[in-house]
Structure 1
Amino acid sequence: MLSYIGKRLLSLIPVMFVVSVVAFLVVYMIPGGPATAILGMEATPDQISALNAQLGFDRPFLVQYLDWFGNVLHGDWGNSYFLQTSVLSAIGEYFGPTLSLAILAQIFALILSVPLGILAAYKRGTAIDVTAVSISLLGSALPGFLLSMFLMLAFSVYNHWFPVAGYATLSAGFGEHLKYLFVPALSLGIVQAAYLTRMTRSSLLDVLYKNFIHTARAKGLKEMKVVLVYGLKNAAPIILTAVGQSFGSLITGTIVTETLFNIPGLGMLTMTSINRRDVFVIQGVVLFVTILYVLVNLVVDVLYGFVDPRLQPGRK
Structure 2
Amino acid sequence: MRTELTDTTSSKVNRALLEARRAIGSPTMGLVLNLVVVTDEENAYDAIRAASETSREHPCRIIAVIKRTARSSHKLRRDRLDAELRVGSDAGTGEILLLRLHGALTEQAGSVVLPLLVPDAPVVAWWPADAPADPARDQLGALAQRRITDAEAAADPVAILDTRAAAYAPGDTDLAWTRLTPWRSLLAAALDQKPLPVTGAAVESEPGNASAELLARWLEDRLGVSVARVATDGPVITRVRLDTTGGEIRVDRPDGVLATLVLPGSPDRKVALKIRSSAELIAEELRRLDADEIYASALRCRPAQASLSA
Report 1 or 2 for greater relative contact order, CA contacts < 8 Å, sequence distance ≥ 6.
1
Judging by fraction of residues, say which structure has more strand: 2
Same fold (TM over 0.5): no
Question: Which has the greater radius of gyration?
Answer: 1
Instruction: Indicate the structure with greater helix content.
Output: 1
- Normalised by the size of structure 1, how large is the TM-score? 0.23
TM-score normalised by length of structure 2: 0.23
